[in-house]
Amino acid sequence: MHFELPADLADLQSRLLAFVAEEIDPITPGVDSESPPADLRREIARRSDAAGFYQLAVPEADGGLGGGPRVITAAREALALSGNPLASRVLGSGPGIMRLADNEEQRDELYAPVLRGERTAAFAFTEAIRPGGAREPTQAVRATLSDGRDGFLVTGAKGFVTGGAASDWLVVVANVPDEGTALLVVDRDAEGVTEGEIGASIDGSTHSPFFFDSVAVPGSRLLGNVGDGLPRAMQNIDRMRLGVAADCVGWARWVTRTTLERIEGPHRSGQPLAEQQQVQTIFADMVADTFAARTSLYQAADAREADEQTAGTQVATAKWLASEWLHRTVDRAIQLHGAQALLRGHALERLYRTSRSLRIAEGPTELLRLTVARHVRQNGIDAL
């Protein structure tokens, strides 16, 4: 069940794995991967930049290496395969949704500071419930601001804003009445913005709700045009989903490899666990799931690279399969490792919590299934 990557991607993965082993593993033993010190994060970024990896996701036009979907997918898979939970920091996040800044003023004010690492932006997409139970869609009403500029007044609530507590800006998806959706860059500390209580997920990540009460946003902070906010947001979500799928496949490969070492090793029965047929069938399921998820992943990456019409659906499929099957693979691995894998701090215990959260993050499995079903119903069974 060999899956062979093109030579350029295979070479990139080999170089990344060697870099993690030589440069990152020696400086991260004993570090809590869920809350690493800031100086360690900066050191990983420095070493990665010196090795030519950190700006892989930054477009060439902006001084980066311009890695496309296939390259970024291969890189993220390799970093997860390394087994070091801090290896993900080797790859800089790139400009993200701020890449949509499409005029000179926005590029100077919003895009360039993100590229330089001087400012950060969090994506505020999911609607939230206000304290007291009221739910209201986030709206942006056109208005003349107090300084005479044209702009918007934003009212509503957003939940699960990952990284929002430490960000400078919130990129808010809002509905402009009678015109459609818009992407607005809101200062996190602007008047009328209130941050709710930070919530910590089981995987160690933190998320904040934000509430907006007639927050004044200048028209210059509109990314793109009114009406194309949701499509542009979905393009960003597709990118994030593909990245999650790549992480999941890399982790699944690491889990499968680690489990093989475990079951082939010495056992109190006198024979390796791998000699037992029941163990072999469990392990075979892990291998098959990982192989199928990896195949789906690279098909989706190719579709994104070629900008195919079905790319969004293929990415949804890849994320759904990879996250579900990673969780199943980790669960089986814990069963084969035994009670030690249940101890807090064990690599599989940590990964079990991570994999459980990823079945919901960037689109829960049930939603992605609906995406796939809708696409096939509209385009026929041969659509994918």
Task: Summarize pLDDT for 10-23 with one digit per residue, the tens.
Answer: 999 999 999 999 99
Percent of the chain with pLDDT over 90: 63
274 and 293 co-located in one domain: yes
Q: Residue 199 CA to chain centroid, in angstroms?
A: 18
Percent of the chain with pLDDT over 70: 98
Confidence of residue 201 (pLDDT cuts 50, 70, 90): confident
State the chain's mean pLDDT as an integer.
Answer: 91
Residue 342 belongs to some domain of the structure: yes
83 and 181 co-located in one domain: no
* Token pair for 175: 């509905």
The pLDDT assigned to 133 comes to: 67
Q: Is the pLDDT of residue 354 over 90?
A: yes
The pLDDT assigned to 179 comes to: 94
246 and 176 co-located in one domain: no
Cα separation, 57 vs 77, in Å, equals 14
Least confident of 56-65, 299-308, 329-338: 56-65
**Looking at residue 324, which CATH number applies to its domain?**
1.20.140.10
Identify the H or E element spanning 303: helix 277-305
Q: What is the mean pLDDT of residues 238-247?
A: 94
Residue 1 belongs to some domain of the structure: no
Whole-prediction pTM: 0.87
Backbone angles phi, psi at 74, to 5 degrees: -65, -40
Residue 115 belongs to some domain of the structure: no
127 and 76 co-located in one domain: no
Contact by Cβ (8 Å): 311, 304: yes
Confidence of residue 7 (pLDDT cuts 50, 70, 90): very high
The pLDDT assigned to 1 comes to: 59
Contact by Cβ (8 Å): 170, 121: yes
Which tens digit of pLDDT belongs to each residue from 70-123?
999 999 999 999 999 999 999 987 777 788 887 889 989 998 888 777 888 889
Q: Domain range spanning residue 155?
A: 121-223
Cα separation, 97 vs 380, in Å, equals 32
**Looking at residue 202, which CATH number applies to its domain?**
2.40.110.10
- In three state form, how does the secondary structure of 116-173 look? CCCCCEEEECCECECCCCCECCCEEEEEECCCCCEEEEEEEEEEEEECHHHCCEEEEE
269 and 207 co-located in one domain: no
Residue 13 belongs to some domain of the structure: yes
Cα separation, 265 vs 275, in Å, equals 11
Confidence of residue 2 (pLDDT cuts 50, 70, 90): low
Cα separation, 303 vs 32, in Å, equals 37
Confidence of residue 364 (pLDDT cuts 50, 70, 90): very high
217 and 240 co-located in one domain: no
Burial profile 20-39: b = 16 or more Cβ within 10 angstroms, e = fewer: beebbeeebeeeebeebeee
Which tens digit of pLDDT belongs to each residue from 37-65?
889 988 998 999 999 999 898 888 888 88
Residue 356 belongs to some domain of the structure: yes
171 and 239 co-located in one domain: no
251 and 373 co-located in one domain: yes
268 and 325 co-located in one domain: yes
Least confident of 126-140, 160-174, 312-326: 126-140
Q: Is the pLDDT of residue 320 over 80?
A: yes
* Residue 21 neighbours by CB under 8 Å, 6+ apart: 82
* Token pair for 210: 């934000």
E-strand ranges in 180-248 read: 180-187, 193-195, 199-200, 206-218, 222-223
Task: Tell me how many domains the chain contains.
Answer: 3
346 and 243 co-located in one domain: yes
* Token pair for 281: 């069938």
The pLDDT assigned to 158 comes to: 94
The pLDDT assigned to 384 comes to: 65
213 and 234 co-located in one domain: no
Which among 188, 223, 258 is the end of a domain? 223
The pLDDT assigned to 166 comes to: 81
23 and 137 co-located in one domain: no
Contact by Cβ (8 Å): 250, 79: yes
